[in-house]
Structure 1
Amino acid sequence: VSPPAPQVPRYVRVNTLKTCVDDVVEFFKRQGYSYLGKAASLDELKTLSGKKFLLDLHLPELLVFPPQTDLHDNLLYTSGHIILQDKASCLPAFLLAPAPGSHVIDACAAPGNKTSHLAALLRNKGQIFAFDVDTKRLATMNTLLMRAGVTSFQLAQQDFLTVDPGDPKYSRVTHILLDPSCSGSGMLTRLLGVEPPPGAGRLQALAAFQRKVLSHALGFPALQRLVYSTCSLQRQENEEVVQAVLQERGSTFRLVDAFPAWPCRGVDAFPGARSCLRACPEDTLTQGFFVAVLERCGEGDAVPSSLPVAAEETPQHKEGTTPAAAPKKRKRKKQRVK
């Protein structure tokens, strides 16, 4: 399966806690890159070469560079103004779409790119409770979040399964992002056969854990919206996990038809599975990924309409799905980037 790797572009998420798309575009232009504007199709992303870059056609704060572009030493990266993050990995926070002021749980949070994306969507207003079991990864994550200018977060070295949904601390948690351990079969190294595919026993164990952790997450009393995602292409870890948990809690939660403009949908494992999103190098020019959006039934009727509107409005709003984002603040920051 060797073709995919070179086809996946270098994606750069603009960190709106520190800057805005226009300023980052100007910065790269001054570094000798030529900006081709907003992409109209995936084909335009495929043909990028040299020092050219585009604004992504699906996600509002995502810039797209040719595959071999290395920006690890770039000032904007080292100062936290941009985050190097695969496009598919930007979908979970974008689709969770918490409003500023919300209380959010990032259940399996390290290394922290999705957490920093959530903070940007929240505009640092509200609270993020981030959990991970690995001490080293949490330390790295803390550094990443500080560099990105994230302020409203609490990191805990804790297995999310041991977090008590009844704890008053989490009584206002309305949004959960759940990206649990998975086989990683969508990662490019695995797709290229550099690493062996997961065995049946490993997949079974992972799927059992994923069902358990998804079911646990749906037990938080104020929860309105949850995004479940993996970087796996295996049905057992994706559609089948969602199906099993919905059968268990189907009267309380439902699957949302997320981001209709996204070209690649869930496999038909059960009725409604096409509401889920999939990603892979061939179809979406990203790493392999899966995303499902679940919402509490019958409550918060404003929630379902919020995302389709945001997704439809994306083309008009260069700087994101939050057009009301504090213009004064942005202007002040502009001085700093230049």
Structure 2
Amino acid sequence: MSAAPDHGAPADPHVKDGVDDQASTVDFNVEAIENVLIEGPPALMARDLMSPFVWQEKDGRFGIMLRAVTKMGEAMTDTGVIWAGWSADGRHFSMHDTPAIVPGPDAHDAGGVEDPTVVRLSDGSYVVYYTGVLADMARGELSYATGPSLDRLTKAGVALASSKSEGNTKEATVEQTADGQWRLFYEYAADNASRIGLAIAPGVAGPWTEQATPFMPREHSWDNWHLSTGPLLTHNPDMPVMFYNGATRDARWRIGWVAFDRDCRHVVDRGIEPLITPPPVDDRTATDIAFAGSVVVVTGRIWLYYSLEDRRLARATIRRS
């Protein structure tokens, strides 16, 4: 993999180690952690579950899209299939009888479909960004599907292609800005590590224009090697917060947070320690991953949805202080 292009922003005298020292500080604490419970057909329940994207509809229901993968030790037929479902309480979900998005037949996602991100448009239709994995099951590109409902989605192709220096574009976080533009955070590969990129576009289908890299790994820290996109908390529009995923070189992933200015151009605060760490395990060779998927604010409560060990789902109640 060739080196990533230098998207660095001009130096700012008020910025030290990537954080604006003139900005107000913020902090978060975990108040409760619960398992997210999934009920569905045998084809789904036979798989491990990860990448939960949860949102709330206007009628109060909670929707979910997730990635279902073959269990460890079983023959891998694909890197993932995407299923959808609904819940009344945001914790117990009943899933559809059939998947919402499956691999193929086109080459760009013949190996698997991963990491769904749902955008609800003003006309009531859905756009679902997902990672389309090639048949080699090793490389992917950010793709998308559209439709009037979660069971009537039509694939629309590649949303953001992988370039020579930014391979494996995936893990979309998408929002519409105040001026009507669309902002896309995504993960890409560079220098044998994961990084977070940022792009803007006039619409959900692009074309996407690259922006300065939003933030980088920190030396001598839990996020010193890999970074991956997480969900945005935007109920305070002047200080949006991303619950991002960070890891060391050996890919022990934890969930942290970073706060931006209104336009997501500058970091104004960043947590020192991880917000969520996987529970301890006896076997040090076991999968050691907590990975954020989505965030929902319900009557003042912040619910952060994430996956553990790439096989099960959880929800943390977060308090902002």
> Which structure shows the bigger proportion of residues in helix conformation?
1
> Which structure shows the bigger proportion of residues in strand conformation?
2
TM over 0.5: no
With the length of structure 1 as denominator, give the TM-score of the two structures: 0.29
